[in-house]
């Protein structure tokens, strides 16, 4: 419920920020009409805190009207003028996960797309599993902005009532999802590594206590149930060519004053080595067992010969063998290359969670009981300092 108290001074500041044209000024007082989605945008701008939104006691609520598994569609810049933005792969990974959940619940998978220009995104979203695309197309959505995007999403959620909503645990998803969750007064489970359905609820699993246990989290008292999932954690489904999604165009009246933060300049920081560890097809990773920075450098040569990039355990990063951008694992990057070669890495749980989705894992360790062998397809018990030069030599001969 939304209420305007008699503190209202009739300044009209709330009127242009309402994306749903839900505020009328009557007798110099703001009055909300039935179009209000409780998005909260007006609360933020009122200079005298005259507006309050009261949410119902969650446990007393009937959630039978909440249906559909939603996926937030993240767009990324391409640098190409004709198609300046494309859908981030994590969106397709989430659509695959959402498809399984929705099939079990017998609900729809809906993609939520906010953009300034539609480049026929629905074609790919449908092919990867969306039944429906809620699309808001507006000039003010030309770039991601926390206030604007969260306001629109909160409005859509209040209007259509999904049972769950998934976001990529990317910079954007990690900024957007908590804002939406706090506005809606719902929970959010960050960095989920597995999602399933249990008794009709979204079972969200994620490592806890430094990765030593897996926590299973349920949110029985609020809707939507919301999670972020890191890129490369969920396997992307094969696209089904010709499978289409119904596009539902949603309107939003977005005023510039909603945007409290303005981007004055953008600088894209590229790693000196141009590392793209999260999308690499081959990763040659080293750990503390590589012993020194000089010896670790041999992995660069090996990875070059294989057309891959170098990864590192946290211990290797802490020892200064490689910088943090290359760290694989819970507090580094989650990867899923076709081939993951590991040299002198023990296989601590925090490392494993970041690379276990790789197609083929080859591990070299001189300790036959090293836990890395539990996830490796091929294991070599031996000295990395002997094996790496031999591999380099063999590849050079080829
Ligand atoms: P060690 O565990 O010291 O293993 C070295 C291995 O090298 C041993 O198995 C040894 O048998 C082998 N070895 C030694 N010499 C040779 C040789 N000549 N040839 C072959 N093998 C040899 N770790 C990560 O990697 N990524 C993370 O993101 C991450 N996040 C963390 C987050 C938290 C909250 C915490 C608490 C820890 C995290 N860690 C992470 C640290 C993790 O627990 C381990 O300490 C770390 O992964 C160990 O790195 P390592 O395997 O290189 O070193
Ligand atoms: Fe305020 Fe949002 Fe309702 Fe408009 S829709 S009146 S901005 S809470
Ligand atoms: Fe009233 Fe606040 Fe709206 Fe101004 S911003 S009109 S004080 S409710």
274-292 pLDDT, tens digit each? 668 888 999 999 999 999 9
| Judgement on whether residues 75 and 35 belong to the same structural domain of the protein | no
Query: So what's the pLDDT on residue 58?
Result: 56
User: Which domain-ending residue is among 228, 258, 288?
Assistant: 258
pTM: 0.76
Does 39 sit in the ligand 2 pocket, CB within 6 Å? Answer: yes
| Judgement on whether residues 222 and 282 belong to the same structural domain of the protein | no
pLDDT category of residue 248 using cuts at 50, 70 and 90:
very high
Pairing of strands 69-72, 109-115: parallel
d(CA 160, CA 148): 19
Angle at 133 (CA atoms; ends 216, 167), nearest 5 degrees = 30
| Judgement on whether residues 254 and 300 belong to the same structural domain of the protein | no
Number of domains in the chain: 3
| Judgement on whether residues 79 and 13 belong to the same structural domain of the protein | no
Does 37 sit in the ligand 2 pocket, CB within 6 Å? Answer: yes
Query: So what's the pLDDT on residue 163?
Result: 97
Pairing of strands 85-87, 75-77: antiparallel
What are 371-390's pLDDT values in tens digits?
A: 999 999 999 999 999 999 99
**pLDDT of residue 298 exceeding 90:** yes
Q: In this structure, what token pair is assigned to residue 23?
A: 């505020």
Full domain range(s) for residue 307: 278-397
| Judgement on whether residues 194 and 338 belong to the same structural domain of the protein | no
CATH code for the domain in which residue 12 is found: 3.30.70.20
| Judgement on whether residues 128 and 190 belong to the same structural domain of the protein | yes
- Show Cβ contacts of residue 73 under 8 Å, excluding neighbours closer than 6 positions: 87, 91, 111, 112, 113, 114, 121, 125, 133
What are 3-42's pLDDT values in tens digits?
A: 999 999 999 999 999 988 899 999 999 999 988 988 889 9
Query: So what's the pLDDT on residue 68?
Result: 97
Mean pLDDT lowest among 53-57, 173-177, 186-190: 53-57
Query: So what's the pLDDT on residue 273?
Result: 52
Query: So what's the pLDDT on residue 36?
Result: 92
HSE-up of residue 306 (Cα within 13 Å, Cβ side): 25
Distance from the CA of 11 to the center of ligand 3, in angstroms? Answer: 5
Distance from the CA of 168 to the center of ligand 2, in angstroms? Answer: 27
Query: So what's the pLDDT on residue 256?
Result: 85
How far are the Cα atoms of 77, 78, 87, 138, 142 from residue 81, in angstroms, in the given order? 10, 8, 15, 19, 14
Query: So what's the pLDDT on residue 275?
Result: 61
Distance from the CA of 278 to the center of ligand 1, in angstroms? Answer: 20
Ligand positioned closest to the Cα atom of 328: 1
Share of the chain above pLDDT 90, in %: 77
d(CA 121, CA 125): 6
What are 29-82's pLDDT values in tens digits?
A: 999 998 898 888 999 899 999 999 987 665 557 898 999 999 999 999 877 777
| Judgement on whether residues 228 and 349 belong to the same structural domain of the protein | no
What mean pLDDT is predicted for residues 193-221? 91
| Judgement on whether residues 308 and 181 belong to the same structural domain of the protein | no
pLDDT category of residue 89 using cuts at 50, 70 and 90:
very high
3-state secondary structure (DSSP) of residue 95: helix
d(CA 132, CA 234): 21
The residues with which 72 forms a beta bridge, in sequence order, are 112
| Judgement on whether residues 298 and 386 belong to the same structural domain of the protein | yes
pLDDT category of residue 207 using cuts at 50, 70 and 90:
confident
| Judgement on whether residues 48 and 156 belong to the same structural domain of the protein | no
Does 43 sit in the ligand 3 pocket, CB within 6 Å? Answer: no
Q: Is residue 64 part of a domain?
A: no
**pLDDT of residue 181 exceeding 70:** yes
Does 315 sit in the ligand 1 pocket, CB within 6 Å? Answer: yes
- Token match 């701008």: residue? 45
Share of the chain above pLDDT 70, in %: 97
Distance from the CA of 170 to the center of ligand 2, in angstroms? Answer: 28
d(CA 351, CA 345): 9
CATH code for the domain in which residue 311 is found: 3.40.50.1220
**pLDDT of residue 361 exceeding 80:** yes
Query: So what's the pLDDT on residue 62?
Result: 83
How far are the Cα atoms of 94, 266, 311, 322, 393 from residue 384, in angstroms, in the given order? 37, 43, 15, 17, 14
- For residue 39, which atom of ligand 2 is closest to its CA? 2
Query: So what's the pLDDT on residue 279?
Result: 86
**pLDDT of residue 211 exceeding 80:** no
CATH code for the domain in which residue 248 is found: 3.40.50.620
Query: So what's the pLDDT on residue 343?
Result: 98
Ligand positioned closest to the Cα atom of 315: 1
What are 308-354's pLDDT values in tens digits?
A: 999 999 999 999 999 999 999 988 999 999 999 999 999 999 999 89
Which of 1, 4, 18 has most ligand 2 atoms within 8 Å of its beta carbon, as the pocket-test mutant?
A: 18
Which of 15, 17, 33, 40 has most ligand 2 atoms within 8 Å of its beta carbon, as the pocket-test mutant?
A: 40
Query: So what's the pLDDT on residue 265?
Result: 87
CA-based R_g, the chain, Å:
24
Does 22 sit in the ligand 3 pocket, CB within 6 Å? Answer: no
Mean pLDDT of all residues in the chain? Answer: 92
pLDDT category of residue 208 using cuts at 50, 70 and 90:
confident
């Amino acid at each position: 419920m939304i209420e305007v108290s008699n503190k209202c001074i009739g300044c009209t500041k709330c009127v242009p920020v309402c994306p749903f044209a839900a505020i009328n000024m009557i007798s110099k007082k703001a009055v909300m009409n039935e179009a209000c989605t409780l998005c909260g945008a007006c609360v933020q701008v009122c200079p005298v805190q005259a507006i309050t939104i009261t949410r119902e006691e969650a446990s007393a609520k009937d959630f039978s009207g909440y249906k559909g598994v939603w996926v937030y569609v993240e767009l990324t810049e391409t640098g190409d003028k004709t198609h300046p933005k494309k859908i981030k792969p994590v969106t397709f990974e989430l659509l695959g996960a959402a498809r399984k959940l929705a099939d079990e619940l017998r609900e729809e998978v809906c993609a939520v797309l906010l953009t300034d220009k539609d480049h026929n995104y629905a074609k790919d979203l449908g092919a990867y599993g969306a039944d429906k695309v809620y699309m808001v197309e507006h000039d003010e959505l030309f770039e991601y902005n926390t206030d604007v995007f969260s306001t629109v999403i909160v409005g859509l959620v209040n209007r259509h009532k999904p049972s769950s909503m998934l976001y990529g645990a990317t910079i954007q998803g990690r900024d957007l999802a908590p804002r939406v969750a706090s506005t809606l007064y719902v929970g959010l489970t960050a960095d989920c590594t597995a999602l399933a359905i249990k008794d009709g609820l979204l079972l969200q699993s994620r490592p806890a206590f430094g990765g030593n246990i897996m926590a299973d989290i349920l949110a029985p008292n609020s809707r939507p149930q919301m999670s972020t999932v890191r890129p490369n954690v969920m396997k992307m489904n094969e696209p089904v060519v010709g499978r289409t999604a119904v596009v539902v165009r949603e309107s939003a009246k977005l005023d510039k004053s909603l945007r409290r933060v303005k981007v004055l300049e953008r600088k894209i920081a590229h790693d000196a080595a141009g590392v793209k560890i999260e999308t690499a097809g081959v990763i040659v990773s080293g750990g503390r067992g590589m012993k020194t920075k000089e010896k670790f450098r041999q992995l660069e040569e090996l990875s070059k010969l294989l057309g891959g990039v170098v990864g590192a355990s946290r211990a290797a990063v802490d020892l200064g063998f490689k910088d943090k951008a290359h760290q694989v694992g819970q507090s580094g990057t989650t990867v899923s290359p076709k081939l993951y070669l590991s040299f002198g890495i023990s296989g601590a749980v925090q490392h494993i969670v970041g690379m276990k989705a790789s197609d083929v894992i080859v591990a070299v360790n001189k300790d036959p009981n090293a836990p890395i062998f539990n996830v490796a397809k091929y294991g070599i018990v031996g000295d990395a300092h002997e094996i790496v030069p031999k591999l380099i030599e063999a590849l050079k001969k080829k």
